Amino acid sequence: MEFTWDRYYSFMKKLLSFVGQWPYQNKREKLLKLSMMTTALLVMNIPQTCKFVYCHKDLECVLGTTPSYLLVLFITMNVYTSSSSKIKTLTDRVFVDWGRLQSPEEYEIMKTYVANAKWIALIYFAFCLAGTTLFVLVAFIPYMLNVVLPLNESRPIVLPYEAYYFVDERKYYLYIFLQGLIALHIVIMGLIAHDTMFMFFVEHACGTFAVAGFRFERLVHEDTDLMKTVNNDLDMYNKKIACSVHAHRAALEFAEHLENIFSLTFGIEILMMTGGMSITLFKITLQSDDIWEVIRYVIYVGAQLVHLFVFCWEGQRLIDHSLQIRDKIYGCTWYKIPAESQRLILHVLKRSLQPKFLSAGKIFIFSLQGFTTVVQTSMSYFTVLSSVQ
């Protein structure tokens, strides 16, 4: 068990430790990392708030500041609402579920799902860091062009994100740029750590459903000699069915824990994401003459879409795995089980007809269909904003 945890969950552990959210982390180290994250969030949030005041109710200025401001807000929410105690509850359940595995085949099933989560998280990690770096570096290009290829009039400078610093931004641009580059990457690490944790836990839930399905498939062995022995032992069937039912119940309980912990914050996040995406699309139409700003906004919209798609894809996987239990039961040779034992699996069969899903605020369901719904809603809001321009 320890070997498996160290091998497959170490990436999640390192990310959560970086932002001070790992439940088994040293208290002094945790306080230091949380202080670092809090400082980075304040360094971004305070100038952004000042920018709203500086806008003086200028709608275009307010809309330009809103997307990055919303990003910082929901990262702050993710970092401080996903407390160590909640994460500890889920990690403890992970340990318990691994301890319940009974055969090498079940271990291989769980390892496969956790390995998948690791690769998904690594790709997501690389994408987020690359996208953030590109987003900031594009803002630096006009400043570099002023140095390398100067014009009669200096090109307008672009800040890493919309903010107001109460200083001459052109004179102190390099300092502002470096501060924004560092702060934004630290803050993004908070988002990546939270999302990676979610991916690992969802994949673990899918793995537990797969283990339960594997046990139901193996209720009746195809070995003829063994069949003759087992058919005469009703208690043996009852024990095997009970073992399968416990595995299915454990998967349902773990998914329920995920729903209870993340539902509210995800509901708020979906609202912010929908609004932020609509506003960003609207800003693209307003900045059509500024190629660098358009590129930055396109990167931002693309990152939002990938972020939403990953969550909806993981939610769809959980739905599919919860429904596959019924197929596993149908697929086993249940008709060879004594009638008294057949009745024991009816409750599981009935429960497996209802999918287990993750929701945002008990309203939005994370699924591929939900992904298209959010995109369509964002486009609708964008159309409304464009019509009142």
Above 60 in pLDDT, residue 227?
A: no
Half-sphere exposure at residue 1, Cβ-oriented, CA atoms within 13 angstroms: 11
Q: Which residues pair with 364 in a beta bridge?
A: 360
> What does the pLDDT read at residue 208?
92
**How far is the C-alpha of 93 from the C-alpha of 85, rounded, in Å?**
12
Question: Is 367:315 a contact under the CB 8 Å cutoff?
Answer: yes
pLDDT (tens digit, 9 = 90+) per residue, 326-346? Answer: 888 777 766 667 666 667 777
pTM value is 0.88
Nearest to 282 by CA among 67, 72, 75: 67
> What does the pLDDT read at residue 220?
65
pLDDT (tens digit, 9 = 90+) per residue, 154-199? Answer: 778 888 888 888 888 888 989 999 998 999 999 999 889 989 999 9
Could you identify the residue written with the tokens 């003829």?
224
**What integer is the mean pLDDT of 134-154?**
83
